[in-house]
Structure 1
Amino acid sequence: MQRMRSWFVSLLLVLPGVAGAEEIADPPPPEEEETVNLLPPEGTVQPLPLEGETTEAASVPVDPSTRWASLLRVETSAWALLPRSGMGTDEGYFQVEPTIVFERGEEFGVNLGAPLRLRVWGPKDGGVVRREDWDELSDWGQLVRSLKLGSDNSPLGVWFGKLDSYSLLSGHLVRRYAHRANPNYHPAAGVLTGTLGPVYVEAFSSDVLGARLMGAEAELDVEHVLFGKPKQKGRYTLGLSAVHDWGRAGGRAASVTLAHMDAVAVLLVRPGYEAHVFAGWGGRPGEAGAWGAVVGAGADVLTQTLNMALRLEARRQHGGFRQGFFGPDYELARFQAAGPDGVPLADAPFPDGYSIHGEAVVGWDAVSYGGLYKHLKLSLGAEAFTWGRFDVDGRVAVQLFERALEVALTGLAAGAGKPGARYLGAAEVRWRFLGGKFYALGTGGTLLFPTTEGTLRPGAFASVGLGVDNAR
């Protein structure tokens, strides 16, 4: 399946995460499988993109194979942390966030920048700069928002930066994962992709500076093996994936290992449309009786103005295994899983049963879908279990008034319908004025902070500020 085989790392630049302040202030990767470039196709007129912001207007035509593109930006804002449920103290900061982007075609791109928070009020022993943003080696990874070497057409590709709503190929182990859901942990991830004959491999590390989540998935093109190189790659594939969390960065937590096998068949291919079916089985090595099975179908639609991916799965869980174990809530659940038990996810009981999982990723633009700038971006994943639990996470962003105004909402509910359910949400508004060079922004939402005791302390954040760039 071409969509499952595309170079996943090149698209990880736009969609904000669900639970962290940084994910709102520093928007990341889109879920659409499209190449993220500052340079538009030759002969077209497109704006210069930057992580997740889709309010820029048209720029000058450039040749993506020979020209450099760049973007410079500075944001200043007041950023406040607020306690919830009587836990914690107020903290206020003056935040400065510079950004610099350079890109040349599809083969090279670099995006550098990070928020610097200077304390205005709060605990006097906290220092001038917010200590939690830079108190471990992994936090220095936030300086690299994106660094890509190679493209979708390269036999080898490397990408470093921020993961958000990331899925490892089939997505049955790592699905919609956000590695900065913990607001005090700011790692840089690394993704390596490679193709050799009928074999395609994707490997990733959620933290290139610390021993954390690592995994890989290898896909074998069965048609290529049996009948030689096919006209369309990846129509019939067998895949094997394994993921291990070392649990030694971003706070100590129990290690865990999962593995999964998948078979995928693309049954229908039409211009702008593709449909496929799949089945798989997985488990937890070393854990007797921990296994799960899945069957499902998916469809991808790509037109001039619409890019849509739909997926529906029927799942079976047994002995504590579940598909999508490393999901959008994992960086918090590794300390305390949603539910009444109050234990880490690696030790939390998970009832045997069945579930239905659905996912929709939609991008629509009234003008043309050829780029990151869309009037509507929607990403939604939901799972309903036969024993009464319901999980959902998503983001929706819309552009209004000739792209001068963008409004984005994100949310997560884990364990809804059962005691100890977890709910998080955030909102962001950006408004460009004075020809688009200047913009005002406001963000706010809820947070959960892991503590040394292994619990989660509730909090909230709010920010208002101004920015200037050369995107228009």
Structure 2
Amino acid sequence: MRLRRGWAAVWLWLLPGIAWTQDGDEPPRTPDLREAAAAETSNAGVSSAAEPETVEPAVRKWHYLTRLEATTWTLLPRTGVGVETGFVQIEPLVVIDGGPEFGINVGAPVRLRLWGGGEGAGLVRHEDWDTLSDWGQLFRGLKFGSDNAPLGVWFGALEDYSLLTGHLVRRYSNRTNPDYHPAGGFFTGTLGPLYTEAFASDVLGARLMGAELSLDVQHVLFGQPPEKGRYTLALSAVHDWGRAGGRAPSVTLAHLDATAIVVVRPGFEAHVVAGWGGRPGEGDAWGAVAGGGLDAVTPTLDLWLRLEVRHQHGGFRQGYFGPDYELARFRAAGPDGLPLAEARFPSGHSAYGELKVGWDAVSYGGLQRHLMLTLGVEAFTWGRFDVDGRVAVQLFQRNLELAVKGLGVGMGKPGARYLGAAEGRWRFLGGKLYAMGTGGTLLFPGVEGTLRPGAFASVGLGVDNAR
């Protein structure tokens, strides 16, 4: 069942490529180059004679990547400082890939001040390393196991993360706050008919934590089925302690879901889902959802689509912990100027759609695609409209990579919030050297729940052994 897609983030953060083709877009189900090579090795070992030769098991191959980037960087980095500050950013990176069930990605940007910053500003940008949670950014990715293993663990940045059915945690990022750089983590485990996923947005601080338990109903009633996870009941609960990355009100949500995969064909699945959720201790805060989706895979295309109709009541909403949450926990979009846990959210209905597409013209077996697109849209009956998405393309024999991402929350109402950014990389001299440039907007949480706008732009060079 392809609702279990959390390990996509693992591979995309461990492999080289443009930053926003790596933040949670779903990977194709076509085998990667190592799997293809292993299959060819196994097939080559089978003789056409009557007595086939003994086939030696494929030897695990280790892969590695080293990278160094140096860019200029301009932003509004310090609370109370109204002038731009210039930095040079040095970012080393080391990746070790030991196969489907082990990988490590270590490296973090170090910003050294060139000008500005006001009185008392140090050489290194203080806000990047002033809390214990910020030291989590050293680990961009560390994985043990996979979704196909009985147990799996992942630590690193969470980008576009959804907790299984996604009705509480959907397209969430723990790095939306520019001054907060935690390492998140999630655990997956399978025991008979029970599948579990638990996560923490900050493994070094008391912040967002949750879990979802998914029960294979067919397995319970009739024994182990030929296809796992076709009919499931799932219970999820998420709690925000609100103590790391800045103080904010705590909140708890829970949700119950029933899912059935109604069509299964080679390269195609279709499912329906229905659920109900609420805020424990607040009986008037609840919501319901019903919808369906499909998952299609061809040698060149990986398509995932979800459409839902939702009802919200008493301040509860599906996707509460979403792409804007690390800002909304201080100040929700809208005119109230209150944290999300205290802001008024009108009762009503909404329509939600989510689309993820990976396409490659040459049926490339890896994760880097000519086109990677992910988009989430929700329209409410009382006039609000939310959208977030990102698109990345590779051109000219993959030498040019371009990516654009955007977020709009509360559109159509006063106090709407907008964020956007773009990045480009151009490889030359055989592909080991590349020029890069980025730019976009930021929001810095300040005192008393304020959000201070800022902008950034950088240009520079990088070198790696990716090619």
Q: Same fold (TM over 0.5)?
A: yes
* 1:43 aligned counterpart, secondary structure: helix
Supply the distance in 2 between the matched residues of 1:391 and 1:366 (Cα, whole angstroms).
32
User: Which amino acid letter does the alignment assign opposite residue 324 of structure 1?
Assistant: G
Task: Give runs of aligned pairs for residues 298-313 of structure 1, distance below 5 A.
Answer: 298-313=293-308
- Give the secondary structure class of the aligned counterpart of 2:142: strand
Pick the aligned partner of 1:354 from 334, 344, 349. 349
Question: What is the rounded CA distance, in whole Å, between the counterparts of 2:208 and 2:125 in structure 1?
Answer: 26
- Pairing partner for 1:131 from 123, 126, 137: 126
Q: Secondary structure at the match of 1:346?
A: coil
Poorly superposed stretches of 4+, deviation over 4 Å: 24-27, 33-39
Corresponding residue for residue 83 of structure 2? 89
8 A Cα contact 1:39 1:104, kept in partner: no
Structure 2 residue 29 is matched with structure 1 residue 43: no
Report the Cα offset of residue 66 of structure 1: 1.5
**SS class of match (2:418):** strand
Distance 1:9 1:67 in 2: 20
Specify the alignment match of 2:334 in structure 1.
Answer: 339
Residue of structure 1 equivalent to 2:42: none
Counterpart amino acid of residue 302 in structure 2 = N
**Equivalent residue for 1:4?**
3
Secondary structure (helix, strand or coil) at the match of 1:176 reads coil
* Structure 1 contact 175–328 (Cα < 8 Å) conserved: yes
Which whole-Å CA distance do the structure 2 matches of 1:80 and 1:38 have between them? 38
Structure 2 counterpart of 1:100, one-letter code: V
Greater shift after overlay, 149-158 or 308-317?
149-158
Conserved 8 A contact 1:39-1:69: no
The answer to whether the Cα contact below 8 Å between 2:33 and 2:365 also exists between their aligned partners in 1 is no
Cα 1:36–1:246, aligned 2, differ >3 Å: closer, same or farther? Answer: farther
Superimposed CA distance per residue, residues 339-392 of structure 1 (whole angstroms, 9 cap, x where no aligned partner): 000000000000000000000000000111521110000000000000000000
Q: Distance in 2 between matches of 1:73 and 1:224?
A: 47
Structure 1 residue aligned with 2:12: 14
Identify if the C-alpha distance between structure 1 residues 13 and 342 changes in structure 2 by more than 3 Å, giving closer, same or farther.
farther
Counterpart of 2:104 in structure 1 is 110
Q: Distance in 1 between matches of 2:35 and 2:249?
A: 47
Q: Is structure 2 residue 61 aligned with structure 1 residue 67?
A: yes
Q: Does 1:270 align with 2:261?
A: no
The residue number in structure 2 matching 1:51 is none
Find the counterpart in structure 2 of residue 366 from structure 1.
361
* 1:145 partner letter: R
- Partner of 1:67, secondary structure, is coil
CA displacement 1:89-123 (0-9 Å, x = unmatched)? 20110110000001111111000000000000112
Mapped to 2, the partners of 1:32 and 1:370 lie a distance apart of 14
Per-residue deviation, 1:400: 0.8
Please give the alpha-carbon distance, in whole angstroms, between the structure 2 residues aligned to 1:454 and 1:463: 28
How far apart are 1:27 and its partner, in Å? Answer: 6.5
Alpha-carbon spacing, 1:65–1:381, altered in 2? closer, same or farther (3 Å): farther
1:437: Cα distance to partner?
0.5
CA–CA distance in 2 between the matches of 1:329 and 1:441?
27
Could you say which residue in structure 2 is the equivalent of 1:202? 197
Q: Is the 8 A contact 2:439 2:455 kept in 1?
A: yes
The alignment status of 1:416 with 2:414, answered yes or no, reads: no
The yes-or-no answer on 1:439 pairing with 2:444 is: no
- Larger mean CA deviation between 364-373 and 184-193 belongs to 364-373
Measured in 2, the distance between the counterparts of 1:36 and 1:215 equals: 31
How many Å separate the matches in 2 of 1:87 and 1:350? 34
1:211 maps to 206
Whole-Å separation in 2 of the counterparts to 1:35 and 1:309: 12
Q: Deviations over 1:387-434 (max 9, x none)?
A: 000000000011111111011000000000000000110000100001
Q: State the distance in 2 between where 1:92 and 1:13 align.
A: 33
Q: Supply the distance in 2 between the matched residues of 1:344 and 1:79 (Cα, whole angstroms).
A: 30
Structure 1: runs of 5+ lacking an equivalent: 16-23, 46-62
Q: Is the 8 A contact 2:20 2:403 kept in 1?
A: no
Match in the other structure for 1:120: 114
Which of the numbers 323, 328, 339 marks the counterpart of 1:328?
A: 323
Query: Which residue in 2 is equivalent to 1:470?
Result: 465
Question: How far apart, in 2, do the equivalents of 1:412 and 1:36 lie?
Answer: 30
Q: How far apart, CA to CA, are the structure 1 residues paired with 2:339 and 2:290?
A: 28
Q: Secondary structure at the match of 2:3?
A: helix
Q: CA deviation at 1:152?
A: 2.5
**Higher mean C-alpha deviation, range 222-231 or range 33-42:** 33-42
1:255-294: CA deviation from partner (whole Å, max 9, x where unpaired): 0000000000000001110000000000000112000000
Query: 2 CA distance for matches of 1:44 and 1:303?
Result: 21
Q: Tell me the residue number matched to 2:53.
A: none
Q: Max radius of gyration: which structure?
A: 2
Which residue pairs with 1:100 in the alignment? 94
Mark the CA change 1:64 to 1:421 in structure 2 (over 3 Å): closer, same or farther: farther
Residue 41 of structure 1: how far off its partner (Å): 1.7
Q: Which residue of 2 aligns with 1:375?
A: 370
Alignment RMSD: 2.2
Cα distance in 2, alignment partners of residues 208 and 82 from structure 1: 28
Query: Could you tell me how far apart the structure 2 residues matched to 1:70 and 1:361 are?
Result: 28
Q: Distance in 2 between matches of 1:64 and 1:439?
A: 35
Structure 2's unaligned 5+ residue stretches are 40-56
- Superposition TM-score, scaled by structure 1 size: 0.91
**CA deviation string 1:20-47 (max 9, x = no partner):** xxxx8686433215589997324289xx
**Deviation (angstroms), 1:319:** 0.2
1:392 partnered with 2:387: yes
**Secondary structure of 2:173's match?**
coil
Number of aligned positions between the proteins? 445
